[in-house]
């Protein structure tokens, strides 16, 4: 190929024009010219390319000027134990953060009560095989949650794979304890920790005590953890030779005022994008401020109960997309009254906007609050200050009691029975508990802010199935939200749902055209949001991808089973299939079972469903179940309707290979699954093993899917 010079002619042409017998000097000159032209033309491609990491020279210059440089993180857990001198490591597998918080609390108590140096470790941060190097002089604790269909958390996948493939007795030196988090409403209750323990034992590990399991079916996860933790401490003090001592609070975080900071330096409450960037969460978008286009009430009688339809506009962010079946994560705001209550008892009502900085005092403890910030942002947006208080937190508060009388008031509540009686008829969060001990402002001013930050959960988004189809309204995402309140034993006492009451307040404000402040159920919210980021009726939200999807072929039959707002994704499914039909595509049979309380009050989207039945001309059938119908003879739950139509359901599942979808509470999903299994076994004379094999096969090929919650 001829090499083109910058002057517009080729080097080959130059060579052909040389006189016969030209000397070596001429040839050398031509070679030099050719090389020079090649170098010139390849500039920026083969050489002198911009350094893609050039910006690194300008990041964290303090690390080059005597600051603390980041050490290379080893992925060998034994090396980490040797570096830190730790006696014990706690591996956690957590999807929502509960197992992680428990692991951190346990590590702290090991140190405070037993003098043990303990590490709380994300299981994905270390090579699983390095666990085999841990000697018998060290101890491991495994805390793991189960979600979905017996699935491990995202951060446990590499460990999960390793324990299923490791062979021999590679863990013969390992001594361990284990605790699982699950919900007995789910079919595979605590399956993950059961499998982990089974595999650890098969690989030669030695369990030091019986495995603990929390059951959240009745909201008792915290109590079960406390009971197991006490058994753990007892095992250490009676069987392993450790001496228990009175715990003394040792902060792992430092929280201090820093009035040198300007407002521009601070995080004012806008949710961070950690959810989108953290490990295992690649299916999440960034968090955006999104306008709410419209809202409407879905219940016919909304005096005592509410269910609202919300449509969120995505047009401001072209990069933000969703697909039918995905979820929208909504970031709630704490009610003003709860923020004010906590500031009052802490004596900080005059300092809500003072800048504060949060630093870690332990290399292994991560600061999960955006910092620097303010107390107003911390309590209003970054911490779950409305979370019900635990018995363990009350025990920790005793050492900070400002008076003997307050200590005497709190001490009995550390007893399980007395605590249950106390909280069974009251809504008690941290601020309410402190206020119960005294109404006087600032009595709890000595309670360290670090204790509050370490004790209260970090604010988490609430996820809702998107109830619209991306094929129909790609730039609008709809939500179907029932306002949830937990009714207690006391007279008219409720624990208000944090996110749902916030959204109800937003709906009310939009109806009144006043978005500065509005009420949910007796709760005020500052709806303008941090730095007025939500002015005009907005929410902070992000999209989370879901596997709850329609079959690729629109002609494939589907069975949908829902209770309450579990109908949300099925509304989207039906919208999408209606669009496919309008485009001339063949649409398969659709059977929807929908359970709610009363036909005159709770049958949401009734007119839409009736219209869809007309449009689909017989290929869509709706079967309803009313658990509180006026006529007692007509009362039924959704699983009862499934049993009544078992012949159709079984034919669709077995003969037509239909996709089955269940959405709603975990208890409903369990009952529906049991009903379907019973009908399949009875009609086809299958054994339980046959039935289980069929269900497992369907789930493997995504033909049996559940989107459920506890």
Domains in the chain: ranges and CATH: 1-50 (no CATH), 77-238 (3.40.50.360), 253-284+334-455 (1.20.990.10), 558-709 (3.40.50.80)
pLDDT digits (tens, 9 = 90+) for 10-64: 434 433 444 434 454 554 555 555 555 555 555 544 444 444 333 333 333 333 3
Cα dihedral 297, 300, 301, 306, rounded to 10, equals: -30
pLDDT higher than 90, residue 97:
no
pLDDT at residue 32 in the model: 56
What is the arithmetic mean of pLDDT over 161-181?
A: 94
Q: Which residues, at least 6 apart from 648, have a Cβ–Cβ distance to it below 8 Å?
A: 591
Cβ-contact 449, 379 below 8 angstroms: no
Cis peptide before 369 (omega within 30 of 0): no
| Interatomic CA distance for residues 393 and 456, integer angstroms | 9
What is the arithmetic mean of pLDDT over 460-466?
A: 96
pLDDT digits (tens, 9 = 90+) for 321-331: 999 999 999 99
Most confident of 3-12, 142-151, 209-218, 535-544: 535-544
Q: Which helix (H) or strand (E) holds 33?
A: helix 24-41
| Interatomic CA distance for residues 491 and 487, integer angstroms | 9
Q: Which has the higher per-residue pLDDT, 121 or 513? A: 121
pLDDT at residue 29 in the model: 55
pLDDT at residue 479 in the model: 98
Burial code of 641-656, b = ≥16 C-beta within 10 A, e = fewer? bbbebbeebbebbeee
What is the arithmetic mean of pLDDT over 233-258?
A: 92
Q: Which residues, at least 6 apart from 250, have a Cβ–Cβ distance to it below 8 Å?
A: 108, 111, 112
pLDDT higher than 60, residue 6:
no
Q: What is the mean pLDDT of the chain?
A: 87
3-state secondary structure of 199: helix
Q: Which residues pair with 478 in a beta bridge?
A: 311
Taking Cα atoms as reference points, which of 408, 456, 404, 412 lies closest to residue 431?
A: 456
| Interatomic CA distance for residues 230 and 233, integer angstroms | 5
Q: Which residues pair with 539 in a beta bridge?
A: 290
| Interatomic CA distance for residues 197 and 212, integer angstroms | 11
pLDDT higher than 80, residue 501:
yes
- In total, the chain counts a number of residues equal to 710
Cis peptide before 372 (omega within 30 of 0): yes
Structure token pair of residue 27: 């040839």
Cβ-contact 426, 294 below 8 angstroms: no
Distances in whole angstroms, Cα of residue 207 to Cα of each of 99, 140, 225, 363, 629: 20, 10, 18, 29, 52
């Amino acid at each position: 190929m001829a090499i083109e010079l910058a002057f517009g002619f080729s080097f080959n042409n130059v060579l052909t024009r040389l006189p016969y017998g030209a000397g070596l000097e001429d040839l050398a000159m031509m070679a030099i010219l050719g090389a020079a032209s090649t170098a010139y033309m390849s500039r920026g491609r083969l050489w002198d390319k911009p350094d893609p990491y050039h910006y690194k020279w300008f990041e964290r210059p303090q690390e080059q000027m005597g600051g603390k440089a980041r050490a290379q993180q080893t992925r060998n857990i034994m090396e980490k134990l040797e570096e830190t001198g730790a006696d014990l490591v706690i591996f956690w597998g957590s999807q929502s953060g509960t197992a992680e918080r428990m692991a951190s609390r346990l590590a702290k108590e090991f140190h405070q009560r037993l003098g043990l140096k303990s590490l709380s470790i994300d299981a994905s941060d270390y090579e699983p095989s390095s666990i085999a190097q841990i000697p018998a002089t060290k101890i491991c604790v495994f805390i793991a949650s189960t979600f979905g269909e017996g699935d491990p958390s995202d951060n446990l996948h590499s460990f999960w794979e390793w324990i299923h493939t490791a062979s021999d007795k590679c863990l013969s030196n390992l001594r361990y304890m284990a605790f699982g988090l699950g919900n007995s409403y789910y079919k595979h209750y605590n399956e993950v920790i059961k499998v982990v323990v089974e595999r650890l034992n098969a690989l030669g590990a030695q369990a030091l005590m019986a495995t603990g399991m929390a059951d959240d079916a009745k909201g008792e996860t915290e109590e079960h953890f406390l009971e197991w933790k006490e058994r753990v401490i007892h095992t250490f003090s009676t069987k392993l030779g450790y001496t228990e001592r009175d715990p003394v609070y040792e902060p792992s975080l430092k929280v201090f005022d820093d009035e040198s900071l300007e407002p521009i330096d601070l995080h004012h409450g806008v949710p961070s994008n950690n959810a989108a960037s953290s490990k295992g969460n690649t299916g999440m978008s960034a968090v955006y401020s999104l306008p709410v286009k419209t809202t409407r009430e879905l219940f016919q009688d909304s005096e005592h109960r509410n269910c609202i339809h919300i449509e969120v506009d995505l047009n401001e962010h072209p990069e933000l997309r969703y697909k039918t079946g995905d979820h929208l994560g909504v970031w709630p705001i704490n009610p003003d009254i709860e923020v004010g209550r906590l500031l009052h008892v802490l004596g900080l009502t005059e300092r809500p906007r003072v800048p504060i900085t949060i630093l870690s005092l332990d290399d292994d403890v991560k600061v999960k609050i955006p910092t620097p910030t303010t107390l107003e942002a911390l309590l209003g947006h970054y911490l779950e200050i409305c979370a019900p208080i635990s018995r363990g937190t009350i025990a920790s508060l005793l050492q900070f009691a400002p008076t003997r009388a307050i200590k005497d008031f709190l001490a009995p509540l550390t007893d399980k029975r007395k605590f249950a009686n106390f909280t069974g008829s009251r809504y008690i969060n941290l601020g309410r508990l402190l206020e119960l001990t005294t109404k006087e402002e600032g009595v709890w001013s000595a309670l360290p802010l670090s204790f509050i930050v370490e004790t209260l959960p970090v604010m988490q988004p609430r996820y809702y199935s998107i109830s619209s189809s991306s094929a129909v309204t790609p730039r609008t995402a709809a939500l179907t939200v029932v306002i949830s309140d937990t009714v207690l034993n006391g007279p008219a006492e409720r624990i208000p749902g944090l996110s749902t009451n916030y959204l109800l307040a937003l709906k009310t404000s939009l109806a009144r055209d006043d978005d500065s402040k509005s009420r949910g159920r007796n709760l005020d919210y500052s709806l303008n949001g941090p730095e007025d980021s939500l002015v005009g009726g907005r929410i902070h939200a992000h999209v989370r991808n879901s596997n709850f999807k329609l079959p690729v072929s629109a002609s494939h039959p589907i069975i949908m089973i829902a209770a309450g707002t579990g109908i949300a994704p099925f509304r989207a499914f039906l919208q999408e299939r209606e669009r496919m039909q309008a485009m001339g595509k063949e649409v398969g049979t659709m059977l929807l079972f929908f359970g709610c309380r009363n036909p005159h009050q709770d049958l949401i989207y009734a007119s839409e469903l009736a219209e869809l039945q007309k449009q689909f001309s017989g290929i869509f059938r709706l079967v309803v179940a009313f658990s509180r119908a006026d006529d007692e003879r007509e009362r039924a739950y959704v699983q009862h309707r499934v049993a009544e139509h078992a012949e159709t359901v079984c034919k669709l599942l077995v003969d037509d290979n239909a996709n089955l979808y269940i959405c709603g509470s975990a208890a409903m999903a369990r009952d529906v699954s049991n009903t379907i299994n019973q009908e399949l076994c009875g009609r086809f004379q299958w054994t339980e093993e046959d039935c289980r094999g069929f269900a497992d096969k369907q789930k493997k090929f995504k033909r049996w899917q559940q989107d459920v919650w506890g």
